[in-house]
């Protein structure tokens, strides 16, 4: 099991976070202090029944009201120049597929302050091995803390909050003095998009890919892209959660991470030009079924011999 | 399986008959007129031939009455052994041959009255008595008594052989029922095989647990063949037999199937085989793959396995293993995509342009400004 800070931004990522929580608690009975989780969503209030290692930050801002005084806000100029249709988004009901609106909310000083504070605290907790060891020991769990902690960032490629949140996270962690490995998971845009939103989702994903690509200058950042047909959304979210579980909890998680960094495509990898597409296929094959297939195949062939075919 | 039996009905020609019939005829022959029976009948009759014949026939019928069930039971058991040693189709062919052979033998019994031979023997007997040739007379008297008795007992033999034909027909009916059962079993197994995962050819999912998959499969085939033969429901089938036989044979076979130990990192051949099977629909098209000289995908198979969660209190007694809930194989395929090679990338760009146009050129679909729009793709 490996230490990690996990950030889930937007509705799709929140669904994945919940699936991951179910998987972890279903397997290990409880969420472990090894994994610090941040969830952001453009709503006014977040849930309260989360494990203590989790933090839900509602990225709400009354944009239409703030628009009047935008010049006095501590925001980048380009945000202030965005059209009023962006400032008119009521973030209580999401960011309306406008990453620019979500970006304003993330950039608001009090949100930025909260995000930075939580991230710094989460990192300190994970890297304070002595304290973490004590905490794990109190829960009667012993884990090898030899592996460096890493960052997992999850968001929908075609959405708004996920889009803005992912870039916000990358910008923070890529400037972090410890330069942790950042694994970004972009989900969609095809999975789950409706016909009406299809063009917008693609447009948003296009921009997000370009933005991520601009940041892929060092081998610190690895971007994974997962997508499916619209009607396979639930399956995709579940498989993404399962894959995250592998990285966090399964023995080969460390080897996988090393391979992404050094192994299977090191020589061919071209930073800034490529995304790593992950396709996950579930072969409904309990291991016993593999053995049973051998037995049944033999039985079938014996029957044919017996019947003189 | 075809032998030349000793004739029991007086027929002198040697006829090729199935061994079960040969055995039956031989047993019947020994029961019909055992050694010394003719002399005994002659002695008891005081030398009167007709009385001796009557004694001989009565004794034979008594013996047959006592032994016929046993003989037919043995006959049926021989057929059971034959059923267990032959493939079903050959067994059915064999039953047809056997039935035909018995019918031929019945026909021979009907057609071979022996009257002419008896007349000749009686004439010879008269001659030898006139000549006073005692040894020849005694021999002829025994021959006449035996032949007449056999002639009278032919109807009894025919009756028994007809019952033997009925036994063969019973086995024929059983064979038909077993054949239907085997077809049903085959269909059931075929259906289950369809529902089980089809694994790539050439992939040894038994890893180091198995060196030679072909050898295992040959062995399993032979073992399954033997087990099915042992378990065929010759004494009647029920609906539950299908499941019972399938499970009992599977259980026996599984004892020889090693545990699955899939390598986490597949070989190049295995990757190739797997890719042929998997619906990699969302990948880069073949032309684009060539255009961008894309490397082969990297495949990782996630295998259900226990996760170790050491608990301090139990360190001394070893690791506590928590079972991973996952019980299915998950295949992860990692493919590097240059973003220009992303499927329909042009459509993505077009969508971006249209959204920007709708907002007066502002990139509201972005969380950051793109000052140099023209540099986006080539940067």
ipTM of predicted complex: 0.85
Nearest CA in chain B to A246: B302
Backbone angles phi, psi at B276, to 5 degrees: -65, -30
pLDDT at A280: 77
Q: Is B177 exposed, middle or buried (0-12, 13-18, 19+ CB in 10 A)?
A: middle
Between positions 263 and 292 of B, the ones with CB within 8 A of A are 264, 278-280, 282-283
Task: Give the pLDDT confidence of A247-302 residue by residue, as tens digits.
Answer: 998 877 888 888 777 655 444 455 555 677 887 776 655 667 778 888 999 999 99
Backbone angles phi, psi at B331, to 5 degrees: -105, 120
SS3 A151: strand
Residue ranges of the alpha helices (H) in chain B? Answer: 19-32, 37-44, 49-85, 88-111, 115-131, 134-195, 213-231, 239-254, 268-277, 286-291, 345-358
Q: How far apart are CA B43 and CA B55, in angstroms?
A: 10
SS3 B18: strand
Q: How far apart are CA A35 and CA A53, in angstroms?
A: 7
Task: Give the pLDDT confidence of A74-106 residue by residue, as tens digits.
Answer: 999 999 999 988 998 888 888 888 999 999 999
Q: Answer whether residue B178 shows pLDDT above 60.
A: yes
Q: How far apart are CA B223 and CA B214, in angstroms?
A: 14
Task: Give the pLDDT confidence of B264-307 residue by residue, as tens digits.
Answer: 445 556 656 666 655 443 455 667 667 766 666 677 777 665 44
pLDDT at A61: 87
More confident residue, A299 or B31: A299
pLDDT at B277: 58
Contact flag B354-A199 (C-beta cutoff 8 Å): yes
Task: Give the pLDDT confidence of A109-130 residue by residue, as tens digits.
Answer: 999 999 999 999 999 999 999 9
Q: How far apart are CA A5 and CA B46, in angstroms?
A: 118
pLDDT at A22: 94
Contact flag B197-A283 (C-beta cutoff 8 Å): yes
Residues of B with CB below 8 A from A268's CB? 295, 336
pLDDT at B84: 81
Neighbours of B195 (CB within 10 A): 8
Place of tokens 């490629």: A157
Position A11 confidence tier, pLDDT thresholds 50, 70, 90: very high
pTM for the structure as a whole: 0.64
Does residue B225 contact residue A306 with C-beta atoms inside 8 Å? Answer: yes
Place of tokens 């601009």: A214
Place of tokens 């493939």: B87
Q: How far apart are CA B234 and CA B200, in angstroms?
A: 38
Please give the mean pLDDT across all residues of chain A. 87
Average pLDDT over every residue of B3-29:
63
Does residue B108 contact residue B157 with C-beta atoms inside 8 Å? Answer: no
For B258-328, strand residue ranges (E) read: 298-302, 307-308, 321-322
Q: Answer whether residue B245 shows pLDDT above 60.
A: yes
For chain A, strand residue ranges (E) read: 4-9, 35-41, 54-58, 150-156, 182-187, 221-226, 274-283
Contact flag A287-B304 (C-beta cutoff 8 Å): yes
SS3 A273: coil
Please, which residues bridge with residue A7 across strands? A38, A153
Share of chain B above pLDDT 70, in %: 71
Put simply, whether B231 touches A (Cβ < 8 Å) is no
The residue length of chain B stands at 379
Reported as half-sphere exposure (CB side, CA atoms, 13 A), residue B37 has a value of: 22
Task: Give the pLDDT confidence of B299-351 residue by residue, as tens digits.
Answer: 777 766 544 444 433 333 333 444 444 456 677 777 777 777 787 889 999 99
Task: Give the pLDDT confidence of B90-136 residue by residue, as tens digits.
Answer: 899 999 999 999 998 888 887 766 677 777 877 877 777 777 767 77
Backbone angles phi, psi at B15, to 5 degrees: -115, 135
Does residue B67 contact residue B32 with C-beta atoms inside 8 Å? Answer: no
Put simply, whether B207 touches A (Cβ < 8 Å) is no
Put simply, whether B191 touches A (Cβ < 8 Å) is no
Closest CA to A274 of A213, A232, A230: A213
Put simply, whether B349 touches A (Cβ < 8 Å) is yes
Does residue A95 contact residue A64 with C-beta atoms inside 8 Å? Answer: no
pLDDT at B241: 72
Contact flag B89-A308 (C-beta cutoff 8 Å): yes
Does residue A164 contact residue A112 with C-beta atoms inside 8 Å? Answer: no
Please give the full DSSP string across A254-265, using - where no structure is assigned.
HHHHHHHHHSTT
Position B5 confidence tier, pLDDT thresholds 50, 70, 90: very low
Q: How far apart are CA A252 and CA B211, in angstroms?
A: 25
Q: Is B315 exposed, middle or buried (0-12, 13-18, 19+ CB in 10 A)?
A: exposed
Put simply, whether B111 touches A (Cβ < 8 Å) is no
Q: Answer whether residue B262 shows pLDDT above 60.
A: no
Contact flag A298-B254 (C-beta cutoff 8 Å): no
Residue A293 has its nearest CB partner, among B87, B193, B366, at B193
Q: Answer whether residue B80 shows pLDDT above 70.
A: yes
Cα three-residue angle B131-B136-B138, rounded to 5 degrees: 110
pLDDT at B6: 41
- Dihedral angle sign, alpha carbons of residues B177, B182, B183, B187: positive
Helices A109-127 and A161-174: angle between axes, nearest 10 degrees? 50
Q: Is B247 exposed, middle or buried (0-12, 13-18, 19+ CB in 10 A)?
A: exposed
More confident residue, A131 or A193: A131
SS3 A152: strand
pLDDT at A134: 86
Task: Give the pLDDT confidence of B134-156 residue by residue, as tens digits.
Answer: 777 788 888 888 888 888 888 88
């Amino acid at each position: 099991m490996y230490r990690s800070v996990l950030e889930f931004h937007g509705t799709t990522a929140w669904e994945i976070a919940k699936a991951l929580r179910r998987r972890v608690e279903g397997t290990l009975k409880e969420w472990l202090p090894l994994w610090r989780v941040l969830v952001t969503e453009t709503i006014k209030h977040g849930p309260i029944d989360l494990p203590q290692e989790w933090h839900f930050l509602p990225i709400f801002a009354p944009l239409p009201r703030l628009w009047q005084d935008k010049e006095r806000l501590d925001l980048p100029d380009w945000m202030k120049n965005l059209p009023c249709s962006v400032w008119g988004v009521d973030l209580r009901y999401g960011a309306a597929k406008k990453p620019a609106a979500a970006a304003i909310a993330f950039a608001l000083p009090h949100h930025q302050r909260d995000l930075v504070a939580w991230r710094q605290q989460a990192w300190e907790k994970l890297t304070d091995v002595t304290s973490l060891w004590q905490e794990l020991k109190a829960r009667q769990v012993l884990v090898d803390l030899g592996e460096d902690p890493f960052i997992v960032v999850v968001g929908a490629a075609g959405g708004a909050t996920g889009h803005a949140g992912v870039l916000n996270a990358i910008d923070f962690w890529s400037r972090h003095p410890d330069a942790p490995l950042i694994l970004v998971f972009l989900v969609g845009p095809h999975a789950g998009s409706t016909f009406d939103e299809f063009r917008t989702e693609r447009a948003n994903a296009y921009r997000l890919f370009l933005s991520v690509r601009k940041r892929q200058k060092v081998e610190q950042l690895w971007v994974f892209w997962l997508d499916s047909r619209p009607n396979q959304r639930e399956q995709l979210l579940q498989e993404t959660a399962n894959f995250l579980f592998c990285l966090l909890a399964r023995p080969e998680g460390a080897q996988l991470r090393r391979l992404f960094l050094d192994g299977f495509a090191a020589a061919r990898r071209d930073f800034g030009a490529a995304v790593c597409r992950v396709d996950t296929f579930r072969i409904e094959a309990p291991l016993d079924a593999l053995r049973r297939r051998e037995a049944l195949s033999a039985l079938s062939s014996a029957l044919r011999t017996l019947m003189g075919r | 399986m075809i032998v030349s039996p000793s004739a029991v009905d007086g027929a002198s020609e040697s006829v090729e008959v199935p061994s079960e019939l040969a055995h039956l005829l031989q047993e019947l022959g020994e029961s019909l007129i055992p050694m010394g029976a003719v002399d005994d009948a002659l002695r008891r009759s005081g030398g009167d031939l007709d009385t001796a014949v009557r004694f001989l026939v009565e004794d034979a019928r008594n013996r047959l009455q006592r032994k016929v069930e046993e003989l037919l039971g043995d006959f049926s058991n021989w057929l059971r052994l034959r059923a267990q040693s032959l493939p079903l189709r050959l067994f059915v062919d064999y039953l047809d041959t056997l039935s035909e052979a018995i019918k031929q033998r019945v026909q021979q019994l009907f057609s071979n009255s022996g009257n002419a031979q008896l007349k000749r023997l009686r004439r010879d007997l008269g001659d030898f008595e006139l000549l006073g040739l005692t040894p020849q007379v005694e021999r002829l008297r025994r021959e006449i008594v035996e032949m007449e008795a056999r002639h009278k007992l032919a109807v009894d033999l025919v009756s028994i052989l007809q019952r033997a034909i009925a036994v063969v027909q019973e086995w024929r009916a059983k064979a038909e029922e077993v054949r239907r059962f085997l077809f049903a079993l085959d269909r059931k197994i075929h259906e289950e095989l369809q529902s089980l995962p089809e694994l790539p050819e050439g992939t040894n999912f038994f890893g180091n647990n198995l060196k030679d998959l072909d050898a295992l499969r040959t062995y399993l085939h032979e073992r399954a063949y033997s087990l099915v033969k042992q378990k065929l429901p010759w004494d009647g089938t029920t609906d539950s037999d299908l499941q019972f036989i399938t499970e009992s044979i599977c259980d026996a076979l599984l004892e020889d199937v090693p545990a699955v130990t899939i390598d986490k990192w597949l070989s190049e051949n295995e990757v190739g085989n797997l890719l042929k099977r998997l619906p990699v629909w969302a990948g880069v098209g073949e032309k684009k793959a060539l255009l961008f000289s894309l490397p082969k995908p990297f495949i990782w198979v996630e295998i259900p396995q226990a996760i170790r969660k050491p608990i301090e209190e139990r360190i001394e007694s070893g690791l506590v293993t928590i079972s991973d809930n996952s019980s299915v194989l998950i295949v992860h395929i990692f493919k590097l995509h240059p973003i220009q090679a992303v499927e329909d990338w042009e459509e993505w760009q077009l969508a971006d342009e249209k959204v920007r146009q709708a907002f007066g050129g502002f990139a509201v679909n972005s969380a950051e400004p793109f000052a140099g729009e023209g540099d986006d793709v080539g940067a």
